[in-house]
Structure 1
């Protein structure tokens, strides 16, 4: 079943951001674009490469009005401990959400119940709190922040220009497509 159009559920979690613990809620997410970036666990192998890639691109996401929320089933204390010992994780300025009960992972349908971990899932959320794009991939394959950024830009463009669609590899300023009326239902 697709999660496109699903409104994210109510939540209240702790986060580690800017060397502080802060509460993050659904209400705090609404009103702007957001990416929920699930990863299996802190102190692992592929995860820090992805989180660093996002950290390097974070200013670009902020410039287009999009907040990044990394999410794992670790506690906010574990996020802090990882931050304190890892040069890579020290670069992160976006909120690292703690989901030790798996509430968010279950709501986004990425919980691996038998392991108590989240799959690698990237979700683009519009300002109304609805999922407009997502991907879930195997735990042994890292994701690319540049491609995720491009997808956020395309999602924003389509939200603003509802009669146009973005082809493969579309970037701002590139040509879009205007589907004919008889093909709109076949997109």
Structure 2
């Protein structure tokens, strides 16, 4: 699995970006949001039970991410047509303010190393990528456990300070300053 310090792999994926007829799809790549923080999260598959709770929460917290100059990109290995059908069908997903990437050939999931060994679907992986395209945080949950959007925001805040942040640090808390040793 790729981890902290690795470059986000190159990708070019069809994405659902709207429900407006004729403007539903757009091809996005790792360069589409160059120079910005990116939160890339994967779910196992559409039309399931835990996945929409996570996706909807990222949607509800979208403003919190944009206030931090970060873009959210959600992805699974379902096609962009399946993503669109799910968004139209599920009331919590209709007005999503971020793209749903279709990693149909599993190229990005495979490059990141997040495919479940038996089921071949993405694990619940989340990556925070800095404006230079470097992975600064990676978190992976088992298929049966949803992630915490609050924790993703907390880590994003900490990374953006570019300072030392202690355990349980939250935005507004003091950061750590190393003491210089006496000569």
Deviation at 1:149, TM superposition (A): 0.9
Over the residues paired in the alignment, what is the CA RMSD in angstroms?
A: 1.5
Q: Conserved in 2, the CA contact under 8 Å of 1:71 and 1:97?
A: yes
After TM superposition, the structure 1 = structure 2 runs for residues 14-29 of structure 1, keeping only pairs within 5 Å, are 14-19=14-19, 20-29=24-33
Q: Conserved in 2, the CA contact under 8 Å of 1:39 and 1:119?
A: yes
Deviation at 1:2, TM superposition (A): 6.1
Partner in structure 1 of residue 95 of structure 2: 91
Deviations 1:105-133 (A, max 9, x none): 11221012542310000100000001001
Partner in structure 2 of residue 185 of structure 1: none
Which of 150, 156, 160 is residue 156 of structure 1 equivalent to? 160
Partner in structure 2 of residue 34 of structure 1: 38
Between 1-10 and 23-32, the greater mean CA deviation after superposition: 1-10
Partner in structure 1 of residue 175 of structure 2: 176
**Inter-CA distance 45–165: structure 2 relative to 1 (3 Å threshold):** same
Deviation at 1:27, TM superposition (A): 1.3
Structure 1 distance, partners of 2:12, 2:101, is 10
TM-score (norm 2): 0.91
Structure 2 distance, partners of 1:27, 1:113, is 29
Partner in structure 1 of residue 11 of structure 2: 11
Deviation at 1:180, TM superposition (A): 4.0
Unmatched runs of 5 consecutive residues or more in structure 1: 159-163, 183-187
Partner in structure 1 of residue 57 of structure 2: 53
Which of 113, 117, 122 is residue 121 of structure 2 equivalent to? 117
Q: Conserved in 1, the CA contact under 8 Å of 2:2 and 2:112?
A: no
1:100 matched to 2:104? The reply is: yes
Structure 1 or 2: more helix by fraction: 1
TM-score (norm 1): 0.89
Structure 1 distance, partners of 2:178, 2:82, is 49
Structure 2 distance, partners of 1:168, 1:108, is 27
Q: Conserved in 2, the CA contact under 8 Å of 1:165 and 1:177?
A: yes
Q: Conserved in 2, the CA contact under 8 Å of 1:72 and 1:99?
A: yes
Aligned residues between the structures: 177
